[in-house]
């Protein structure tokens, strides 16, 4: 344990990473629970795959709207109390959901859930940027984003087992209790850093330098004029901030790529259990083996891809943080394809392990890129703008997957149509790889623009 703590940067840094990872884990555990209890909900509430998709989509859709004011708050108020308070409200919504006696009641609780889950993205992004140095951003983000995967896997496995032993309601209440414990830990143990404490300009002023910024300086890349703000970011209105961050080409590209990646992931985590059970004839014991294997693949991806991108940047590959995700999305689609086509769980397992590693591995470098190309005073709002499109994708995917499964196999809720849906959804992943190749030319100039903007405007 002591060796692991040292590897994570010491007790303080390890504690902060663990807390932020747990926040994201809680955010995805809920979707994992829904995915694990699909059949129980269908039997108890007399609903089909489309209605299940709506239950998963509702928090994302509401969160897409709620994230706009949350992004403003994350840039202007203390972030730790904001985060802790939202976790308490999240737990209350889960308790109410567990008491539901009708589909409408459960759906209403999911709507309320979405309003508070919107806090996680902007606040975690802003805190990460201010708590950790830019040279380690992709690797640090990988460790924090591991929480998303662990939470989803936890919800699938533990939520499913709790539902099997007790009831689907107990699964909701179990994660609600964990949420309350996490809120207390965040309030007591998570530090509130100064804004811009780790910004590129300040890091350079201390004489330490940062790899990406040094590489940009040494290459002679000039800032893109339209990516440099003319107004102090801390004083921008939401509309001004939105216009500015959407003028940054690299930021727009990674917003689109991230939304496509999470679109596929949202559909996968909602219907993966049903698909695996009926495609491969796997029972509860088999699921308890298969789900952790895929989860470990995803975990390996987020822990290694970010560090790989950081290492390549330090070796002078300026655009590595966009090239690594480009390769990862392409590899993910090509690995999922044979896994979905085979009828053998044993053949599919190693393919899904590698595909999950590639799919999850794309996210840490992309999240680091967003911090690289945006002034620190806009991190919360920039994340909220990205979250809007990401959550819309997450909202649409479960409903679309569920509806299409009914189109491909009318009247069949066994998952027969899901194999075609997953195959069709691989096309956007392949497109993602091509989209990100476009960013490799824009990224250096946008990093230079962020550096120039921090030289002009310091934190208030």
For residues 42 and 48, the answer to whether their CB atoms sit within 8 Å is yes
- pLDDT at residue 213 in the model: 58
Neighbours of 80 (CB within 10 A): 18
| Measured distance CA(349)–CA(20) in Å, rounded | 30
**Would you list the domain boundaries of the chain?**
10-191+211-456
- pLDDT at residue 10 in the model: 59
- pLDDT at residue 384 in the model: 79
- pLDDT at residue 148 in the model: 76
For the chain, give me the number of helices (H) and strands (E)? Answer: 19, 0
Question: Six-digit token pair at 144?
Answer: 């924090």
- pLDDT at residue 152 in the model: 72
For residues 200 and 374, the answer to whether their CB atoms sit within 8 Å is no
Q: For residue 48, give the 3-state DSSP assignment.
A: coil
Neighbours of 289 (CB within 10 A): 11
- pLDDT at residue 204 in the model: 42
- pLDDT at residue 289 in the model: 66
| Measured distance CA(280)–CA(51) in Å, rounded | 24
| Measured distance CA(382)–CA(393) in Å, rounded | 17
Write the DSSP string, 299-326: HHHHHHHHHHHHHHHHTT-TTHHHHHHH
Question: End-to-end distance of the chain based on CA atoms, in angstroms?
Answer: 40
Q: 162-181 burial, b for 16+ CB within 10 Å, e for fewer?
A: bbeeeebbebbbbbbebbbe
Tally the C-alpha atoms within 13 A of residue 323's C-alpha that lie toward its C-beta: 13
- pLDDT at residue 327 in the model: 92
For residues 160 and 273, the answer to whether their CB atoms sit within 8 Å is yes
Per-residue pLDDT of the chain (460 residues; tens, 9 = 90+): 454 445 555 577 788 888 888 888 887 787 777 777 777 777 777 777 777 777 777 777 777 777 777 777 777 788 888 888 888 988 888 888 888 878 888 888 888 777 767 777 778 877 887 787 777 777 787 788 777 777 777 776 777 777 777 777 888 888 888 889 999 999 988 888 776 655 544 444 333 335 555 666 556 677 778 888 878 887 788 788 888 888 898 999 988 898 898 888 878 777 777 777 777 776 666 666 666 777 788 888 888 888 888 888 877 787 888 999 999 999 999 999 998 888 887 888 889 889 989 998 888 888 888 888 888 878 777 877 887 887 777 778 877 887 887 787 665 555 567 778 888 889 988 988 888 888 888 888 888 888 888 777 764 4
Neighbours of 185 (CB within 10 A): 17
Q: 409-445 burial, b for 16+ CB within 10 Å, e for fewer?
A: beeebebebbbebbeebbebbebbbebbeebbebbbb
Question: Six-digit token pair at 288?
Answer: 């308890």
Longest CA–CA separation in the chain, Å: 66
Element housing 177 (H / E)? helix 168-189
> Domain spanning 10-191+211-456 has what CATH number?
1.20.1250.20
Q: Report the candidate in 363, 320, 290, 388 with the shortest Cα–Cα distance to residue 69.
A: 388
For residues 83 and 120, the answer to whether their CB atoms sit within 8 Å is yes
- pLDDT at residue 324 in the model: 92
């Amino acid at each position: 344990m002591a060796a692991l703590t040292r590897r994570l940067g010491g007790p303080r840094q390890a504690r902060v990473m663990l807390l932020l990872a747990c926040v994201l884990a809680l955010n995805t555990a809920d979707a994992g629970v829904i995915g694990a209890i699909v059949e129980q909900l269908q039997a108890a509430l007399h609903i089909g795959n489309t209605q299940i998709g709506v239950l998963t989509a509702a928090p994302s859709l509401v969160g897409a709207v709620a994230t706009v004011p949350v992004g403003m708050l994350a840039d202007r108020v203390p972030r730790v109390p904001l985060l802790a308070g939202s976790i308490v409200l999240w737990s209350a919504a889960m308790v109410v959901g567990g008491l539901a006696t009708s589909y409408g009641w459960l759906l209403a609780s999911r709507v309320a859930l979405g309003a508070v889950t919107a806090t996680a993205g902007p606040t975690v992004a802003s805190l990460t940027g201010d708590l950790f140095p830019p040279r380690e951003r992709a690797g640090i983000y990988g460790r924090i984003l591991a929480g998303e995967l662990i939470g989803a896997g936890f919800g699938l496995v533990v939520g499913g087992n709790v539902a099997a032993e007790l009831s689907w309601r107990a699964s909701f209440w179990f994660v609600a209790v964990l949420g309350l414990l996490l809120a207390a830990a965040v309030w007591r143990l998570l530090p509130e850093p100064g804004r811009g404490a780790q910004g590129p300009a300040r890091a350079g002023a201390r004489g330490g330098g940062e790899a990406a910024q040094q590489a940009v300086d040494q290459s002679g890349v000039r800032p893109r004029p339209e990516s440099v703000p003319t107004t102090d970011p801390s004083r921008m209105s939401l509309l001004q901030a939105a216009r500015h961050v959407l003028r940054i080409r690299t930021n727009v590209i990674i917003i689109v790529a991230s939304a496509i990646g999470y679109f596929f992931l949202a559909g996968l985590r909602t219907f993966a259990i049903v698909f695996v059970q009926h495609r491969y004839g796997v029972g509860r014991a088999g699921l308890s083996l298969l789900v952790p294997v895929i989860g470990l693949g995803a975990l390996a991806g987020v822990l290694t891809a970010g560090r790989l991108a950081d290492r390549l940047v330090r070796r002078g590959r300026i655009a590595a943080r966009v090239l690594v995700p480009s390769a990862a999305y392409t590899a993910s689609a090509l690995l999922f394809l044979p896994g979905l086509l085979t009828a053998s769980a044993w053949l599919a397992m190693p393919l899904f392990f590698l595909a999950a590693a590639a799919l999850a591995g794309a996210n840490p470098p992309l999240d680091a890129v967003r911090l690289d190309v945006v002034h620190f005073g806009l991190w919360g709002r920039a994340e909220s703008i990205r979250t809007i499109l990401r959550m819309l994708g997450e909202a649409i995917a479960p409903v679309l997957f569920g509806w299409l499964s009914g189109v491909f196999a009318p009247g069949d809720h066994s998952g027969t149509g899901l194999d075609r849906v997953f195959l069709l959804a691989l096309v956007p992943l392949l497109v993602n790889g091509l989209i990100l190749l476009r960013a490799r030319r824009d990224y250096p100039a946008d990093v230079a623009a962020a550096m120039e903007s921090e030289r002009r405007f310091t934190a208030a």
